Structure 1
Amino acid sequence: MIVAAAAAMAAGGLAHAQASVVRLGTVAPLSGGAAHAGQANLNGVRMAVEELNARGIAIGGQKVRFELLAEDDAGDPKQGVAAAQKLVDARVHGVIGHQNSGTAIPASRLYSDAGIPQISPSVTHPRYTRQGFATTFRMVADDVQLGGMLGRYAVKELHLRSFAVVDDRTAYGQGLAREFAEAVRAAGAAVVDQQFTTDKATDFSAILTAIKAKKPDVLFIGGMYATAGPMLLQMQQLGLYARLMGGDGICNDAIVPLAAGAVGENRIVCAEPGGFDQAQQPGLERFHAAYRKRFGSEAEGISVYAYDAVNLMAEAMVQAGSAEPKRYLPVLASMQGFQGVSGGIAFDGKGDRKDPLLTLYTFRNARRATLAVVRADASRTH
């Protein structure tokens, strides 16, 4: 069936009856330390695909059925490239993913070479959309915006003065830590120590002992909750009572059990790309209710962006009258006014989302609580 559909597409797109299947690929870490977020990503994609099929979408006058091809990259760049090659070989019409910067960036070249549009619901490394590929798009703010905003907020709003910065050596962690440190210095505060670990490490006693001697107000971690949770626990065990700050990688309720009681009250400040204003609340509530009914759990922010990415890609196909990548890609790049659960969606010339929101969080009573929703700084210089 798939072979016949591929042959029909080669002969002329969706014109043939056998070419009614539109294949969407998605890649996320469904195993490893970030599997919780990866599953939330996949659930958002799956829910959108199921709803599209229930509605009965027509493209170019022909009813189509969306087929989902899901791959696990485990957050590993080599596995991510292998997953991307599988989707290219399967001749998918579009890709939602990858979730992590370290896998999305190398995979993006394969999709670009094949001409397959790729929308990441969560990648934040600036390089992702700065490679000159017409096929790469992102749904959220990048690390320049996120790290810079966190640095400025820590100094100007929280009035903190000394910072230690740690990264996990991933593309995501290094980029975010760099932007945070630059913003802190630009705001007039001091970075008193910089250390690094890995995203597989579990013992942080050496770097935390070195940091404790510098007595920082804040330890900033460029990494994921799987690293930050145990690190926070070890900070407490060592008597290092600095606040913990980080990006969207640590902004997850899964950090609470990993920190084993060390989360405290208002000790963590983190931020996620994205946010929702009052006008979006009715749609957001409907989404969360539908997600709970379908999966029996609460949706993560990434679920919303993955869901919106699928619907945006499908709408571009509808407007183009074709699911062929070369036909709907220009429509996707130039779409204006599409309203998703996360608000209006449009991309700039690089594939970055225009005027994205960022949300700041803390943790209280072992649960995440919103501090503020802000617009990303539009005055990026790099």
Structure 2
Amino acid sequence: MHALQRMVFVSSLFTLTLAAARADELTVRIGTAGPLTGPQSAYGQDAVNGVIMAMKTLNAQHAEIDGKPVLWKVDTEDDQADPKQATVVAQKFVDEKVNGVVGHLDSGCTYPASRIYDQAGIPDITPSSTDPKIAQQGFKTFFRMLANDNAIGAGLAQYAAHTLHLKTVAVVDDGTAYGQGIAKVFSADAKKDGLRVVDREHTSDHATDFSAILTKIKADHPALIFYGGAYTQAGPMLRQMQQLGIKSRFMGGDGICTSELAKLAGSAVDGTICAEGGAPLKDMPGGPAWKTRYDQEFGAGALQPFSSYAYDATMVLAHAMMKAKSADPKVYLPFIRNIDYDGVTKKRIRFTATGELVHPVITLSQFKGGQKAPLAVESVQ
């Protein structure tokens, strides 16, 4: 055989081998959705970043399913923190036959989207939605990576009553499923713990002027104002409280528990107490190493609360597929509940029959000098 013929033969053999390898390769697509535009985009992009990092890890590890090489891909969609858009995104994921979903970010989006995933039999794990009603729908495809609002609201109420020894509170929510849900839980537990709710107000998650509500609240002289909503409204609200000379303490759930709150509120943020599901990053099993990796990938200052949970959610889906030896959602779904995966956020990640995390924790924090500092970590049984 001439040299040129040998080169053609070897080249053809390589092409056929590569084609065979690609034919044997399985593509697994994970959909992830959250607000990538608008005021909550920092949260949304952070969660997406977590999924991207998980995909990079899986591809770097050459993670296989049933002995087959896998190309792990992410399908990212912007649900705009809008429940109607979330259902459009969910149906898009179903139509595209994604193998699993990490999302959505907001409870108001996860609630309607979870029904669509359940009807299609596609597992979805939220890294951030804390409304208890989502799990109460009874969908076998739904899972949650952190403590729900029942735990967060109760923990905050107990802290206000028994640690701060406060007696009166005004409660405000932003009209969203998340805001109304956590405000309702806090109000009920506050009353049980001896706090008197002297005012109950409602606003919008698009509002910027809270002067009317705050003026009314000021007349009732509450020791505490509890806000059910996101940092996007809590920041301006704190500034306006300062301008009006309101001396009440300020408290909220995981929606305000971010460094972004300090940027919006300025010096008015100091003294604010918030709570979120999960342990502080420094106390997570893989927390310090995660922060180093994240900063290297996306730059210092980009990290928000939910990327580590989104990363673990993605890895739970992937490891369930590997254990089941199948990427078919109906085949690997039963393997998720007792996955026993050691993640960044928690060792031995497992779920209850309703998709709640087994033995979650909540962390209470306070802002001092514009920085969020942990106050206490409480286990939820």
Does the aligned pair in 2 maintain the 1:276–1:343 contact within 8 Å? no
Contact persistence 2:25–2:71 (CA under 8 A): no
Instruction: For 1:219 and 1:355, locate their aligned partners in 2 and report how far apart those are by CA, in whole Å.
Output: 29
Q: Could you say what secondary structure the match of 1:347 adopts?
A: coil
Q: Distance in 1 between matches of 2:83 and 2:282?
A: 38
CA distance in 2, matches of 1:41, 1:92: 18
1:198 maps to 2:201: no
* CA deviation after TM superposition for structure 1 residue 300, in Å: 2.3
Q: Distance in 2 between matches of 1:191 and 1:165?
A: 7
Match of 1:38 in 2: 44
The worse-fitting range, judged by mean Cα deviation, of 254-263 and 233-242 is 254-263
Consecutive unaligned residues in structure 1, runs of 5 or more: 1-15
**What does the per-residue CA deviation read over 1:47-97, in whole Å, with 9 as the maximum and x for residues that have no partner?**
111111111111011010111000001110011111111111110000000
Q: Within 5 Å, give how 1:1-382 maps onto structure 2.
A: 17=23, 20-264=26-270, 267-276=271-280, 280-281=284-285, 283-298=286-301, 299-335=303-339, 337-344=340-347, 345-376=349-380, 378=381
Judge conservation of contact 1:101–1:123 (CA < 8 Å) in 2: yes
The structure that has the greater radius of gyration is: 2
Q: Secondary structure at the match of 1:301?
A: coil
Q: How far is the alpha carbon of 1:280 from its aligned partner? A: 3.9
Q: Which amino acid aligns with 1:242?
A: S
Deviation at 1:279, TM superposition (A): 7.1
Matched position secondary structure for 1:123: coil
Cα distance change, pair 142–321 in 1 and its aligned pair in 2 (3 A): same
SS of the equivalent of 2:335 reads helix
Distance 2:74 2:123 in 1: 15
Deviations 1:15-49 (A, max 9, x none): x9366100100001111121111111111111111
- In the TM superposition, residue 277 of structure 1 has moved relative to its aligned partner by 8.8
Alpha-carbon distance between aligned partners in 2 of 1:277 and 1:53, rounded to the nearest angstrom: 25
Given that 1:129 and 1:136 are in contact with CA atoms closer than 8 Å, whether structure 2 keeps it comes out as yes
Look up the equivalent residue of 1:331 and give its one-letter code.
F
- CA deviation after TM superposition for structure 1 residue 121, in Å: 0.5
By how many angstroms is 1:261 displaced?
2.6
Q: Which runs of 5+ in 2 are unaligned?
A: 1-21
For 2:137, what is the secondary structure of its paired residue?
Answer: coil
* Higher mean C-alpha deviation, range 16-25 or range 156-165: 16-25
CA distance in 1, matches of 2:280, 2:320: 23
CA distance in 2, matches of 1:217, 1:162: 5
> Counterpart of 1:338 in 2: which secondary structure?
coil
Cα distance in 2 between the residues matched to 1:332 and 1:147: 27
Q: Secondary structure at the match of 2:117?
A: helix
| Inter-partner Cα distance in structure 2 for 1:274 and 1:248 | 10
Pairwise CA distance, 1:276 = 4.8
| Structure-2 residue corresponding to 1:3 | none
Instruction: String of CA shifts for 1:178-233, please: whole Å, max 9, x gaps.
Output: 00011110011101100000000001011101100000011000000000000000
Query: How many residues matched?
Result: 359
Mark the CA change 1:214 to 1:375 in structure 2 (over 3 Å): closer, same or farther: same
The two structures have a TM-score, normalised by structure 1, of 0.91
Letter of the 2:66 counterpart: G
The separation in 1 between residues aligned to 2:41 and 2:362, in whole angstroms, is: 23
Residues 214-257 of structure 1 deviation map (CA, whole Å, 9 limit, x = unaligned): 00011000000000000000011111111110000001111112
1:318–1:179 distance in 2 versus 1, CA, 3 Å: same
Q: Identity of aligned pairs, percent?
A: 47
Say if 2:281 and 2:288, in contact at 8 Å, map to a contact too. Answer: no
Alpha-carbon distance in structure 2 between the residues aligned to 1:18 and 1:46: 24
Distance 2:241 2:104 in 1: 32
Q: Give yes or no for contact 2:258–2:305 (8 Å, CA) kept in 1.
A: no
Q: Could you tell me whether the CA contact under 8 Å between 1:276 and 1:342 is conserved in 2?
A: no
Indicate conservation of the 8 Å contact 1:45/1:310, yes or no: yes
Cα displacement (A) at 1:154: 0.7
Q: Counterpart amino acid of 1:294?
A: E
